[in-house]
Amino acid sequence: MEYKVAIPHCYKWMAADNKKLYIEYIKGYIKSSHPGLKPVRVEGPCVICTKQ
């Protein structure tokens, strides 16, 4: 089952158009805020996750 988690908008400007840094921010956010989920892909302002 997939879960859609909203990405905080501040991560976009903190990464300053650096895609690799943006992905790392998202991974860290999911790990700390939703520890039971694993990020799969980014779809616009959301990240799609699965249960670990």
List the chain pLDDT tens, one digit each, 52 residues.
999 999 999 998 998 889 999 999 999 999 999 999 999 999 999 999 999 8
Q: CB under 8 Å to 7, separation ≥6 — which residues?
A: 26, 29, 42, 45, 46, 47
Record the tokens describing residue 35, joined without a space: 């520890």
pLDDT at 49: 98
Range of the domain at 43: 2-51
pLDDT at residue 17, as a whole number: 87
User: For residues 39 and 47, is the Cβ–Cβ distance under 8 A?
Assistant: yes
Total structural domains within the chain: 1
Specify the pLDDT at position 52.
84
- Give the integer Cα–Cα distance in Å for 35 and 16: 26
